[in-house]
Structure 1
């Protein structure tokens, strides 16, 4: 039961009319005369009878690892373990995930942090990945038919980078070869021939027209605005005044000749644009022919290098056609570059924006090594998971192209394994949905967060999706996994395997030997000094203490590694060549001291009587319960005073903590259970007429757990029997309705918490703790507690029943019900039952009289 409370400066007064917790404070019943005090109920000292019960021996309080039984001098002598200690079940699940090639057998790795999950999984995945074939490369290239849909190319491992290098070299070479070819004498002669043929054709057509016009008596004149036609008569151009002197018939004949020639001139001029168009096409055909000559040979070289890749060959055909059609780009590159600081032969023309269409954006290349990839993504955002498309600012607008496509973790891990932290994945918007969608579809589609959230509209791309074949490993704690399974039905369909890492392992000789090898490996991995056998033995004992079990060891390698690192520092400071048990003990002591500020404050409050705890004498209805305070980084036990008050009533046990909403459901359950024990164990032939109240005194925070139910029941029995409880004893344990004391958690911390209080006030030999019999195997007490028990200054009593507990606490026999139905006289149970019967009789006295009429 974890309880965190503040302390009050004063105790609340006893409520009037209740049976006081201290002896002699009982109030008279209503309607009855004041009874003389019973000597047996008067306050009296309570002594501790060591013969009344036997506590645990020192050997039962702590299990100690013998360094001599480990079989080595230092950890330098130990080989590394084949796999983590005690994780066979989890490792089998990981191995199945690596071997299974069917879809849906992705893996959830479960367990608390610090158990070595990441390292164990990474090692096993790395081993499995090394045996797998190297996955193919992937690259994006320009789609010449649909530029906004980049084309994905799949190539054998390492070939994507080769294709990219070949395309860069192709562009650089053609940027030199094509301009050089257009500067050649052959090209210039052909170009002059085309120009001359065009000019000659135009002149010949016009000359033929002029000859025909002259034969028909029409002269052609060239003017700044075009051409003018004039009639010729007798070898002379007909002037206007001469024309006017001609008769009508002659003028009509002249007009007809001129009109006919004008129409013919119009036809001649109309043919000129056609000849110009044909003229323009001839240079284009010449350019294409020259470019084809330059491009074909270089493209053929690249095509031969990738002849076994049909997709690449088809892409190169498109590149060939586009380069021939866009040969002027290479001429512009030559003209725009100028001389530059470098020779033309080493100039990198492929960097120019105009040649980006011929680039190869290598998304994934596997040329660096063998085996499949193992990728761990520490920041699984949507972009880092499925890839992204970057944008560049151009003329005030955001633009992009296929060269700005960036791969995600799914691309990099394709063909291998992807390891993700589930909590980080779920914390990123749309990342979990994108992962499920990719696993479902068997392909990864790049989708940006801006598109999903419709934040803004800009130029974007729709790259071809890439087929996906990988195994995803999600690492999570059990609580998150259970919540995810409950909330999302896709989890069990897509993640069919779970590797659940154990938190503890049995403490056997074989396990301890493997554990020592694991500690040796951790020391070598962190560059620490070797540990002696005594140091390893101390860490084994600490592992059992972390597990709160003498028969098991904690597998929280992270916490043990922290102890090893601090012990290594202390050993190096003292000039030791190896870390010894004294260094480990010192490191544990220092770590405890740093984290114990809250514990020490609590101890001070008890020592100064701010928090009221008695460790001597006896009091009716008052008992020392034990609780555990957890500050997040440190757990410690502390005693809490529990008091019980009883009187005649309607059969109700009031849990004050629950009444004020400070008690949790488990604590309330414990109170109801002890109420059930009372009603089923005493005065069965009369109505339960008890009014009782239970409270954790000076409790100002939440109280939960049922580990105080034994103490609460014993306090009630003390109040009912009017027998004082020994305040030098503290009690922990839950109870069931049959009166059996059940195991609880934190038993080691609780004993040590009460021990510190008693030690601060001086150990008298009358002090100790009652614990459930079932918790004996969980004890890993500190040496000072064990030594105090060895001297008889402190005691630990295991109890299995409430009767055994109340006998120790009161020094009176509990008493078993006899054949006649009653308990032995003077026993605790007899006194309780007699008290309950008196309450029932008092209650009957308050019932209204029933009159019988004749």
Structure 2
């Protein structure tokens, strides 16, 4: 509780309280070029420990979620830490897809030591190239031709022998076996000459019958011989094929033995080479006839066989890089995460094979670390579910979305899943982390480590020096001019201003790096070798200048009296509140006129913004607190018989926050006490039911917003701003505001209670209740209490008898 003696009106804050400067004399260096670079971010001990733990523990579900605002250096810090850690870890294995000769639509996944995948790919390519020339040459050799000729001769002899025997038997019976273009035929002879049809008709009937009978018997024998010919051809084909196998085996076995020796320590490769050898022997003709033709729309298209089935699809190889892989995927689509099977157009159709399997980020990061932006993952359809599915199953299964959802009927592959051993590092704002924790039951099981980055650190002499080293590190990294000690001090002051707290420093590395780069630009423009405090200030001013168009327009509207804001005189029921507008990274404040009216009523507090749905929930809460304060202080033993209306004049947008509740309470008390409020003062602060003033945000911007209007109209020495006492530690005001306060032209008052604020605003003591509960005569509180009592009496006078009884009972 605030004691009565503490409610005396405070004096204006001293100059030293308005801006906590950084003294360049504390630094023992001339420029940042003399300082040692930092190896890690300052003030991120908690996050660093979490990343170290998450990266070190190799248990299921201990993936890392790095949370914090963008720009604090999360990625760079985590990337540097993982890079050092990954160097000391063993290389990840190579992963390849090989043809499955038994089921070509289900390619086999094989794991090989680092570098062996590319070696196998190269050896297989060289082996196929060699065989494509060696095998045809072998089949063109004299030895092969002799063996193939012997097989053909044997077939020919067997066939000719059968036909010769049949012909000789026919001749014995005066029949001859003729070979015609249409096949074989029998004809009668006489004196070893084929008789003509006319001569045949002249033969006796008995002779004709004999000839027909003999020809029928011979025809039957011929048909038996012809029925054996396909079998003989098949036997010949088998013998040729067996010869081809033996011929191919001779050269294939030789080169395969060399490969088996090369990969003798890898049983899986030896098994694969056996299958390749068997397939090459079985399909030796592919090497002899490398061209194949197809008829397409009447055109003969000739293509060359590429022997894809003997290729090695090296999906992932880390032979060139040491340590575990670190992969950052900037476009985490479904296929970019888990891989895909591509198709090519061939003869009007889409075809594919195992060589068209492409890796995803999970494949490339397998055995190491995968860095992802959670927002990008969540924005991609099916990507988040695919990532969770892979982590839960601990395997990477390449599946086409079209097949999964029956969207296409194209024949595709079913690659064998690969085991997954990866550490996922997700980066994102705190909002994503807490939303996923709340709404995704799998999230907490898969991401058990949270690395929460601070956006501010404590300000002290020690952190000043660390910040100077940080600046030196950024300058070296970005190849910027070094800063002198004065420039470093100005950057530190600006860093405190960024977080709105004189006792803290910002860890938003992007903002600091941008400021340093812009200061470097202005220093080089001036031809300097070292950036100074004036260059830093010039960069700060330029950043504001680029974004302050709307602020300038609003200030101009106030100065031209389009927006009504008084900065002199005194008015009852009217006060200057302060509101903040945020446009991206730029925030500024402007004064807003707040007015209040009171009249006879039943204790209603009308928030006009709320009535028209322009009031946010927090602002509405603040107005209801005012009603509670009035009833508790002035109407404990009587009905609160007033109706009050509050409004932000000339405000046509959403009003949110309770930082104007102190101003609203003061303007209400002003109206009730009929006490004029000094328009040369503006008020900001939150208030509770006890009248205590509470801290608000953006206190620097609010003070400066009112100061700019006053300065433009001319400082009189009476203008100023009332702020909560708990906000004094946050003050980092501009130098021109501090200078005006030092010269007595502008004043900052820190108040802890509404009574202090009313005393300053009206020049009339608020007054403390005595032992009898009465306030001093002519005090603000005495006037308000009298007004409330008068309204209660007036209401009683106008009340219906039944209502009057209720009012009496309420006493």
Partner secondary structure for residue 418 of structure 1: strand
- Does the aligned pair in 2 maintain the 1:617–1:728 contact within 8 Å? yes
Q: Per the alignment, do residues 69 and 221 of structure 1 end up closer, same or farther by CA in structure 2, a change over 3 Å counting?
A: same
> Displacement of 1:164 after TM fit?
0.6
CA distance in 1 between counterparts of 2:191 and 2:170 reads 15
Of 115, 132, 135, which aligns to 2:92? Answer: 135
1:460 corresponds to: 412
Of 395, 403, 423, which aligns to 1:443? Answer: 395
Does 2:507 align with 1:547?
no
> Displacement of 1:245 after TM fit?
6.4
Q: For each residue in 1:543-564, what CA deviation from the matched residue of structure 2 results, as whole angstroms up to 9, or x when unmatched?
A: 1000111110111110111111
- Does the aligned pair in 1 maintain the 2:767–2:781 contact within 8 Å? yes
Deviates more, 1:402-411 or 1:278-287: 278-287
Of 163, 170, 178, which aligns to 1:222? Answer: 178
2:23 corresponds to: 66
CA distance in 2 between counterparts of 1:265 and 1:639 reads 119
Of 471, 486, 490, which aligns to 1:519? Answer: 471
Of 542, 551, 555, which aligns to 1:603? Answer: 555
Pairing of 1:275-286 with structure 2 (within 5 A): 275-286=232-243
1:738 corresponds to: 690
1:557 corresponds to: 509
Partner secondary structure for residue 11 of structure 2: coil
> Displacement of 1:352 after TM fit?
5.1
2:43 corresponds to: 86
CA distance in 1 between counterparts of 2:482 and 2:376 reads 36
Does 2:309 align with 1:357?
yes
Q: For each residue in 1:413-449, what CA deviation from the matched residue of structure 2 results, as whole angstroms up to 9, or x when unmatched?
A: 1111111111111111111111111111111111234
2:759 corresponds to: 807
- Does the aligned pair in 1 maintain the 2:170–2:177 contact within 8 Å? no
Deviates more, 1:205-214 or 1:482-491: 205-214
Does 2:436 align with 1:476?
no
> Displacement of 1:477 after TM fit?
0.7
CA distance in 2 between counterparts of 1:392 and 1:607 reads 70
Q: For each residue in 1:21-41, what CA deviation from the matched residue of structure 2 results, as whole angstroms up to 9, or x when unmatched?
A: xxxxxxxxxxxxxxxxxxxxx
- Does the aligned pair in 1 maintain the 2:97–2:312 contact within 8 Å? yes
> Displacement of 1:825 after TM fit?
1.5
1:590 corresponds to: 542
CA distance in 2 between counterparts of 1:280 and 1:457 reads 40
- Does the aligned pair in 2 maintain the 1:231–1:257 contact within 8 Å? no
CA distance in 2 between counterparts of 1:520 and 1:222 reads 107
CA distance in 2 between counterparts of 1:254 and 1:62 reads 135
CA distance in 2 between counterparts of 1:245 and 1:375 reads 100
Partner secondary structure for residue 327 of structure 2: strand
Q: For each residue in 1:180-201, what CA deviation from the matched residue of structure 2 results, as whole angstroms up to 9, or x when unmatched?
A: 1011111111122222222222
Pairing of 1:357-376 with structure 2 (within 5 A): 357-376=309-328
CA distance in 1 between counterparts of 2:208 and 2:716 reads 155
Pairing of 1:77-156 with structure 2 (within 5 A): 77-156=34-113
CA distance in 2 between counterparts of 1:289 and 1:154 reads 33
Q: For each residue in 1:543-599, what CA deviation from the matched residue of structure 2 results, as whole angstroms up to 9, or x when unmatched?
A: 100011111011111011111111000001111111111110111111112211111
1:321 corresponds to: 278
1:4 corresponds to: none
Partner secondary structure for residue 290 of structure 2: helix
Deviates more, 1:511-520 or 1:548-557: 511-520
CA distance in 1 between counterparts of 2:114 and 2:327 reads 17
Q: For each residue in 1:305-357, what CA deviation from the matched residue of structure 2 results, as whole angstroms up to 9, or x when unmatched?
A: 11222222222111111111111111123899xxxxxxxxxxxxxx9543111
Partner secondary structure for residue 654 of structure 1: strand
Q: Per the alignment, do residues 404 and 235 of structure 1 end up closer, same or farther by CA in structure 2, a change over 3 Å counting?
A: closer
1:579 corresponds to: 531
CA distance in 2 between counterparts of 1:652 and 1:227 reads 122
Q: For each residue in 1:497-555, what CA deviation from the matched residue of structure 2 results, as whole angstroms up to 9, or x when unmatched?
A: 11111110000222222222222111111111111121111111001000111110111
- Does the aligned pair in 2 maintain the 1:179–1:334 contact within 8 Å? no
> Displacement of 1:836 after TM fit?
0.6
CA distance in 2 between counterparts of 1:492 and 1:530 reads 45
1:312 corresponds to: 269
Partner secondary structure for residue 289 of structure 2: helix
Partner secondary structure for residue 354 of structure 1: coil
> Displacement of 1:691 after TM fit?
1.4
Task: Give the structure-2-normalised TM-score.
Answer: 0.93
Q: Per the alignment, do residues 649 and 232 of structure 1 end up closer, same or farther by CA in structure 2, a change over 3 Å counting?
A: closer
Of 649, 652, 666, which aligns to 1:697? Answer: 649
CA distance in 1 between counterparts of 2:796 and 2:545 reads 60
CA distance in 2 between counterparts of 1:70 and 1:411 reads 50
Of 173, 178, 187, which aligns to 2:130? Answer: 173
- Does the aligned pair in 1 maintain the 2:519–2:536 contact within 8 Å? yes
- Does the aligned pair in 2 maintain the 1:175–1:334 contact within 8 Å? no
Q: For each residue in 1:458-489, what CA deviation from the matched residue of structure 2 results, as whole angstroms up to 9, or x when unmatched?
A: 13111111111101111111112222222211
CA distance in 1 between counterparts of 2:193 and 2:223 reads 24
Q: Per the alignment, do residues 105 and 251 of structure 1 end up closer, same or farther by CA in structure 2, a change over 3 Å counting?
A: same
Pairing of 1:719-758 with structure 2 (within 5 A): 719-758=671-710
1:381 corresponds to: 333
- Does the aligned pair in 1 maintain the 2:10–2:751 contact within 8 Å? no
CA distance in 2 between counterparts of 1:793 and 1:237 reads 144
CA distance in 1 between counterparts of 2:389 and 2:448 reads 16
> Displacement of 1:261 after TM fit?
4.5
CA distance in 2 between counterparts of 1:528 and 1:378 reads 28
1:419 corresponds to: 371
- Does the aligned pair in 1 maintain the 2:695–2:725 contact within 8 Å? yes
- Does the aligned pair in 2 maintain the 1:218–1:257 contact within 8 Å? no
Partner secondary structure for residue 410 of structure 1: helix
Q: For each residue in 1:730-777, what CA deviation from the matched residue of structure 2 results, as whole angstroms up to 9, or x when unmatched?
A: 111000001100000011100111111111111111111111010000
CA distance in 2 between counterparts of 1:772 and 1:234 reads 142
Structure 2, unmatched stretches of 5+, are 1-7, 294-302, 806-811
Task: Name the count of aligned residue pairs.
Answer: 784
Q: Per the alignment, do residues 682 and 230 of structure 1 end up closer, same or farther by CA in structure 2, a change over 3 Å counting?
A: closer
CA distance in 2 between counterparts of 1:849 and 1:155 reads 98
CA distance in 2 between counterparts of 1:499 and 1:614 reads 50
2:204 corresponds to: 244
Q: For each residue in 1:629-676, what CA deviation from the matched residue of structure 2 results, as whole angstroms up to 9, or x when unmatched?
A: 112231111111111111221111211111111111111101100110
CA RMSD of aligned residues (A): 2.3
CA distance in 2 between counterparts of 1:791 and 1:587 reads 27
CA distance in 2 between counterparts of 1:671 and 1:299 reads 88
Does 2:792 align with 1:840?
yes
With CA pairs under 8 Å and 6+ residues apart, which has the higher RCO, 1 or 2? 1
Q: Per the alignment, do residues 228 and 372 of structure 1 end up closer, same or farther by CA in structure 2, a change over 3 Å counting?
A: closer
Q: Per the alignment, do residues 839 and 332 of structure 1 end up closer, same or farther by CA in structure 2, a change over 3 Å counting?
A: same
Of 193, 197, 205, which aligns to 2:150? Answer: 193
